[in-house]
Amino acid sequence: MLDTGKLSWKPGQPVPYSHLATMFEKVEKESKRLEIISLVTDCLRSVIETTPEDLLFCVYLCVNKLAPAHEGVELGIGDMILKKALAEATGRQVKDIQSDYDKVGDLGTVAMKSRSTQRVMFAAKSLTVQTLHKSLLQIAKMTGKDSGTLKKDKIKSLLVAAKGIETQFIVRHLQGKMRIGLAEQTVLVALAHSIALSVPQGTKPNKQILEKVSCPCFLNQLIDSLQAAETLREVYSQLPCYDKIVPVLLKEPINNLPLNCYLQPGIPVHPMLAHPTKGVSEVLDRFADQTFTCEYKYDGERGQIHMTPDGTVRIFSRNSEDNTSKYPDLIALMPKVIKEQTKSFILDAEVVAYDRETKKILPFQVLSTRKRKDANEDTITVQVCLFAFDILYYNGDPLIKRSFHERRELLKSTFTEVEGSFAFAKSRDASDTEEILAFLNDAVADSCEGLMVKTLFGDSSTYEPAQRSHKWLKVKKDYIDGMTDSLDLVPIGAFFGKGKRTGVYGAFLLACYNEETEDFEAICKIGTGISDTQLKEFYDAFEPIIISEPKSYYQYDDSPGLLPNVWFEPKIVWEVAAADLSISPKHKAAIGLVDESRGIALRFPRLVRVRDDKGPEQATSSTQVAAMYRNQAVIGQ
Ligand code: ATP
């Protein structure tokens, strides 16, 4: 058992935020993942063994979230509001704070220094994890015309109450980025370890736990903890909702978690993703001893459709955003495609723009002109067809452990096609090169991006939430044309246009996302593939997210041709195609992963589309960039 006597609070009392802040400070200085896991595990363990009801708030603060993703509650307060709140909380001038910020590059550090130089007349009440979580939630939910002032006042009161290092991390919570190298996957592992090793207060430790805690054999504990971590990771990918998982973790042995927490209609599952291939020959190599099927890869937007037993239907994006109000036409369609006995389901599908007169699929660009929220069914001009390709849950039964063959049968027997509105993904159980190539050509002729090739039978064809799985391979027509897979990148800055592009931005600096460090790393400058109309649109669209200086978590080269004239908040995601990837002395993408001191750059990048369905943290990661570089047929230097 942990020695809880050394803690700054008594069992049953609220956990002070300082307990987390102290751990964050240690994590920030630590680079070894195992050490980080151990720091977080100890921190959470002491909460479980004293005040377990605060564990949920601690987990949310560790992953820097306030609620499950589909509730759409996000922080990411602009620097200006933070600087003003800090000025009021400390009696300093905004311009002095700005000048420190210019020197230090991190508003959290400036805030902490500003607080420590301030004379405190009376000690404010300590912040607890629960009160901080509640306040952050209130701030994130403030809307309306006075919300700027209300947010500033609330932030000010938090900064006044914060002590020492707490100030720095509160500012970072508010900015929406902790930048201490604590990824959510690491928190999940630590949470599992802490549960596996803890004896919660007030509970009579069961024999199993006692054996674990007093077990002289460290290896047994380790194996239990590793299994616990794997169990939790899998459960979280099916039910990404700490509100549901944490109470069960505290009540039941972790081995029972999958019995209590699994797919649930109404909570978006992290979607299964596909592995890119270089072409049909790679598919045949990888699936040499498997039976597989090829499906059209439709070029639209992923739609995960949920129906709960009360008959409510909701549509979630790839990114777990609630898109229900974008597609009232699809909601109205559902009663026509389900069989009478259907009570609940989770369907995986692609929403595609569709011309019902010509019976043709329309390009993604047409779909992107649809109103994003609160669409009115009567005024919809862009019609859509839903192409269903999987079913994950039906009438109380999770189906993801069943073979794809079984799921596909069930999908087809429980839903009905409606011409021009609802269809099953077109498929062919092809098995040789000629057949696959012929089907690929059909797919391209039918305005699809290529093929998805999926294993059909046994364990190797189950649905794997959140995994970029080798059970699904994507073959895009672009790969056949010798291009790499496209990347999803974040515009972090722009360059003023010249000549024909005077008055708008002529080029943009794009970055990939490093999941470990939470940095955005520049990968290329792009000016190709953007029409004059788009340039004008982008000039206006980027205006609200211009920032006066680059974020401290932007990694870029500051040589003249590569230093943007304006910087942006990391908000937008663009899909970009390129001829290939090369090692770059300038760009910082995936630096240290392929080459110790040089990054990776895209050669001949061209904009494919704006990705409204991805947030900046879902942009192509530095690890993926490194993998794409290594996978190239010919590696250019
Ligand atoms: P990823 O989702 O793999 O990160 P991405 O978002 O850039 O990459 P793509 O590489 O274009 O997407 O391919 C995967 C997407 O293809 C799926 O998320 C889904 O929206 C879409 N898709 C279209 N047709 C199918 C299909 N038949 N089966 C599965 N997915 C399909």
- Give DSSP secondary structure letters for 275-316: EE-SSHHHHHHHTTTS-EEEEEE--SEEEEEEE-TTS-EEEE
User: Looking at residue 633, what is its pLDDT?
Assistant: 52
Indicate the top mutation candidate among 350, 392, 442, 472 to test ligand 1's pocket, ranked by most ligand atoms within 8 A of CB.
350
Cβ of 553 less than 6 Å from ligand 1:
no
Percent of the chain with pLDDT over 90: 70
Among protein residues, the one with the nearest Cα to ligand 1's atom 30 is 297
Which atom of ligand 1 sits closest to the CA of residue 273? 3
Which atom of ligand 1 sits closest to the CA of residue 276? 10
Whether residue 42 has pLDDT greater than 80 = yes
Among protein residues, the one with the nearest Cα to ligand 1's atom 17 is 302
Indicate the top mutation candidate among 301, 302, 451, 574 to test ligand 1's pocket, ranked by most ligand atoms within 8 A of CB.
302
Query: Mean pLDDT of all residues in the chain?
Result: 90
Beta bridge partners of 385: 352
Q: What is the DSSP letter of 244?
A: H
Reference 375, options 331, 328, 417, 408; nearest CA is: 328
- Whether 135 and 173 have beta carbons less than 8 Å apart is answered as no
Report, as residue numbers or ranges, the catalytic residues.
297
Looking at the domain covering 273-480, what would its CATH class be?
Answer: alpha beta
Whether residue 632 has pLDDT greater than 90 = no
What confidence tens digit (pLDDT) does each residue in 177-227 have? 888 989 899 999 999 999 988 855 444 444 444 444 444 445 556 667 788
Among protein residues, the one with the nearest Cα to ligand 1's atom 26 is 297
Among protein residues, the one with the nearest Cα to ligand 1's atom 4 is 273
Among protein residues, the one with the nearest Cα to ligand 1's atom 16 is 297
Residue 636 pLDDT grade (very low, low, confident, very high; cuts 50, 70, 90) = very low
Reference 316, options 265, 261, 367; nearest CA is: 265
Among protein residues, the one with the nearest Cα to ligand 1's atom 13 is 274
Looking at the domain covering 4-63+181-260, what would its CATH class be?
Answer: mainly alpha
Ligand 1 centroid–CA 33 distance in Å is 31
Cβ of 471 less than 6 Å from ligand 1:
no
Whether residue 484 has pLDDT greater than 90 = no
Indicate the top mutation candidate among 270, 292, 297, 354 to test ligand 1's pocket, ranked by most ligand atoms within 8 A of CB.
297
How, if at all, do strands 273-276 and 468-476 pair? parallel
Cβ of 488 less than 6 Å from ligand 1:
yes
- Whether 73 and 173 have beta carbons less than 8 Å apart is answered as no
Cβ of 274 less than 6 Å from ligand 1:
yes
What confidence tens digit (pLDDT) does each residue in 82-112 have? 999 999 998 899 999 999 988 888 888 898 8
Ligand 1 centroid–CA 448 distance in Å is 11
What confidence tens digit (pLDDT) does each residue in 329-342 have? 999 999 999 998 99
Whether residue 455 has pLDDT greater than 50 = yes
Output Rg (C-alpha) for the chain, integer angstroms.
Answer: 26
Domain boundaries, the chain: 4-63+181-260, 79-175, 273-480, 487-635
Q: Which residues of 185-220 are buried (b: 16+ CB within 10 A; e: fewer)?
A: bbbbbbbbbbbbbbbbeeeeeeeebeebeeeeeeee
Q: Is the ipTM of this complex over 0.85?
A: yes
Q: What is the DSSP letter of 602?
A: E
Domain pair 273-480 / 487-635, same fold: no
C-alpha separations of 369 from 188, 300, 332, 356, 612 in Å: 38, 12, 21, 17, 11
Token couple for 384:
């859509």
Q: CATH number of 79-175: 1.20.1250.20, 3.40.50.620, 3.20.20.70, 1.10.3260.10?
A: 1.10.3260.10
Any idea what the Cα angle at residue 591 is, between residues 589 and 593, rounded to 5°? 115
487-635: CATH architecture? Beta Barrel (2.40)
Whether residue 164 has pLDDT greater than 80 = yes
Whether residue 124 has pLDDT greater than 90 = no
pTM > 0.95: yes or no? no
Give the mean pLDDT of 10-30.
95
Cβ of 389 less than 6 Å from ligand 1:
yes
Cβ of 364 less than 6 Å from ligand 1:
no
